Structure 1
Amino acid sequence: MRSKIFAGSSIIVALLMIAGIFFSLPYYVSKPGIAKELAPIIQVADGTEGKGSFMLTTVRMGRANIYSYVEAKLFDYVELYPVEAILHETETQEEYNARQLHMMAGSKLNAIEVAYKKAGYPVDYEYKGVYVVQVVPDMPAEGKLRSGDRIIKVDGQEFSSSERFIEYVGKKEAGDQVELTIKREDKTKTVNVSVKPFKDDPKKFGIGISLVDDKEIIVDPKVTVKTDEIGGPSAGLMFSLEIYDQLMEEDFTKGYKIAGTGTIDSKGTVGPIGGIDQKIVAADKAGAEIFFAPNEKGGKDSNYKLAVKTAQDIDSKMKVIPVDVIDDAIGYLEKLPKK
């Protein structure tokens, strides 16, 4: 009898443990990710190779279950966020993932443009259309378009930017239809979508999608950036530095392990990111000696100041360097003595 009770209790405990893994809570949890060398990820044709390394840093983010919730309550640098703090209103997980990947794609384009122009090489673009990032519920595009679709024509016409697409559709009247030529999973199809006023702005008309440009950068020598499923824009600065380093004869790493983070725009301005403290932890574990952090023009709650505090709290020997523009990082590296 006791053995039956014990067996039954064990099964219940096992089921509860399994349920703890698969039962999602209304939170996301983030924790330190990895610091990954960029040289194997980025390849400039006939580019030079440095003795040191540039590294991107990541944060691991996922939907919280019971175990990760408890982990966040017990350990430092493991954070909980309500679902609404991560997902836009009405945004699905699929749309969030697509948004992150498209933001990474945009970050790569900016990084390449900045690095090549800084190194004195010409840059051009080939425009391919727009990507659908999110479909707005209760708008005409719902059920006809989905996240990840690429719109290449509207009413049989190609367009030169997302702004042109929005301008064209916005001139339509309520009830008008537009014919969209889209690519989905390597297949081309045509869908007809009506135009409708937006609930929050009845004077504004659209089909109910958020979108980003799909364009290919044209540079010589060619560059390949393999990011797989890494999402978000926060590696922009480090992408630029790795590409620039490979384009130039001088070795800017000078034998050091250099990590960092920060968005970058096409003018080379470095922007703040989330999870800077967790990225400091990741970089320190990977043995980084230098860390570039967004300075935000010396703001009171800047990424840089939090990065310095975190490095001190974990007794890291990394030097945390503030950057507002890519020239700040390059200037620091130019003065850095060889290791």
Structure 2
Amino acid sequence: MRKKIYIGSVLLFTLLLIFGMYYSLPYYVSKPGMAKELGPIISVEDGYKDEGNFMLTTVRMGRANIYSYLEAKLMKYEELYPLDMVLYKKETEEEYNVRQLHLMAESKLNAIEVAYHKAGVPVHYKYKGIYVVQVIPGMPAEGKIKAGDRIFKVDGHEFPSSEKFIEYVGTKKAGDQVTLTFSRNKVANTVTLNVKQFKDDPSKVGIGISLVDDKEIHVDPKVKVKTDEIGGPSAGLMFSLEIYNQLTEEDLTKGYQIAGTGTISEDGIVGPIGGIEQKIVAADKAGAEIFLAPNENGVKNSNYRAAVKTARDINTKMKIIPIDTFDDAVTYLKQLKQK
């Protein structure tokens, strides 16, 4: 009898453990990720080598289960975020992942453009179509178009931007049809959809997709940026510095281990990111000596101020440097003494 009770208790305990592991709570958990050297990730054809390293920093982000929720409550540098702080309205987790991967792709394009322009090398773009990042429930595209699809023709017409696509569809009336030609997993497809009024704004019509431009950059010398499944735009600054460093003879690293974070715009403006505290922890663990942090023009709650506070809290020797633009970062690095 006791043996049966023991076996039953073990089975019940095992089931509870499994339940706690796979039961999703309405939160995301973020925690320190890694600081990864960019040399093996970015390769400029016949580019110059560096003595030190530029490193991107990451945050580990995932849906909370019971255990990760409790861990985040106990650990200082783990954060909980309600779903509506992470996902757009009516956005699915699949669409969120697609959006993050596209943001990374856009970040790479901006970084290449900024670095090549700074190095005095021409940059050319080829427009490839419209990249779908979200499908709105209850609209005609639902079930027909998916996040990640690339639309390259509408009614047989090609458009030079997503803006022109929106203008064209906007000239239609509710009930009119549009035929989309799109690719999914490198296979071309066509679908005909009725245009419908938006519930939130009946004065506008559409098929119910959120989209961005899909473009390809052409440069000489060529550059390869391999990011695999890393998502988000926060590595833009560090990408641009690594690319520029390989394009120019002077080594900006001066032999140091340099981590950092921040988005990069086409005109070289460095923008704030989430999870700066976790990234400071990750960079310190990886042995970074310098950390470049978005300064946000000195606002009170800037990434830079949060980074300085975290650096003091973990008692790191890593220097935290405020950066507003790509040029700021280059200027700072040029004045570094050779290690």
CA distance in 2, matches of 1:327, 1:200: 43
Secondary structure class of the residue paired with 2:179: strand
Q: Which moved more, 1:166-175 or 1:61-70?
A: 166-175
Secondary structure class of the residue paired with 1:203: coil
Q: In the alignment, what sits opposite 1:248? A: 248
Residue deviations 1:134-171, cap 9 Å, x none? 00011111111111111010110111111111111111
Q: In the alignment, what sits opposite 1:156? A: 156
Deviation at 1:3, TM superposition (A): 2.0
Deviation at 1:206, TM superposition (A): 1.2
Deviation at 1:176, TM superposition (A): 1.0
Q: In the alignment, what sits opposite 1:113? A: 113
CA distance in 2, matches of 1:10, 1:174: 61
Deviation at 1:83, TM superposition (A): 1.1
Letter in 2 for 1:131: Y
Taking the TM superposition and a 5 Å limit, the aligned residue runs for 1:137-286 are 137-286=137-286
Residue deviations 1:163-194, cap 9 Å, x none? 11111111111111111001011111110111
Residue deviations 1:184-223, cap 9 Å, x none? 1111111011111211211122111001111100100000
Q: In the alignment, what sits opposite 1:130? A: 130
**Gapped regions of structure 2 (runs ≥ 5):** none
CA distance in 1, matches of 2:8, 2:180: 59
CA distance in 2, matches of 1:331, 1:11: 63
Q: In the alignment, what sits opposite 1:102? A: 102
Letter in 1 for 2:3: S
Q: In the alignment, what sits opposite 2:294? A: 294
Give the length in aligned residue pairs: 339
Taking the TM superposition and a 5 Å limit, the aligned residue runs for 1:87-98 are 87-98=87-98
Matching of residue 60 in structure 1 with residue 53 in structure 2: no
Q: In the alignment, what sits opposite 2:31? A: 31
Q: In the alignment, what sits opposite 2:321? A: 321
Letter in 2 for 1:119: A
CA distance in 2, matches of 1:3, 1:194: 66
CA distance in 2, matches of 1:144, 1:10: 47
CA distance in 2, matches of 1:147, 1:236: 23
Q: In the alignment, what sits opposite 1:81? A: 81
Letter in 1 for 2:206: G
Letter in 2 for 1:139: M
Secondary structure class of the residue paired with 1:60: strand
Secondary structure class of the residue paired with 2:251: coil
Question: How high is the TM-score relative to the length of structure 2?
Answer: 0.99
CA distance in 2, matches of 1:130, 1:264: 22
Q: In the alignment, what sits opposite 2:11? A: 11
Q: In the alignment, what sits opposite 2:47? A: 47
Residue deviations 1:215-262, cap 9 Å, x none? 100100000000000000000000000000000001100100000000
Secondary structure class of the residue paired with 2:156: coil
CA distance in 2, matches of 1:323, 1:197: 45
CA distance in 1, matches of 2:73, 2:189: 49
CA distance in 1, matches of 2:90, 2:224: 35
CA distance in 2, matches of 1:233, 1:170: 30
Superposed CA RMSD: 0.7
CA distance in 1, matches of 2:200, 2:66: 37
Letter in 2 for 1:225: V
Give the ranges of 4+ consecutive aligned residues of structure 1 lying more than 2 Å apart after TM superposition.
Answer: none
Deviation at 1:266, TM superposition (A): 0.3
CA distance in 2, matches of 1:107, 1:244: 15
**Gapped regions of structure 1 (runs ≥ 5):** none
CA distance in 2, matches of 1:139, 1:22: 32
CA distance in 2, matches of 1:330, 1:46: 21
Question: How high is the TM-score relative to the length of structure 1?
Answer: 0.99
Secondary structure class of the residue paired with 1:183: strand
Deviation at 1:89, TM superposition (A): 1.2
Q: Which moved more, 1:167-176 or 1:56-65?
A: 167-176
CA distance in 1, matches of 2:18, 2:207: 43
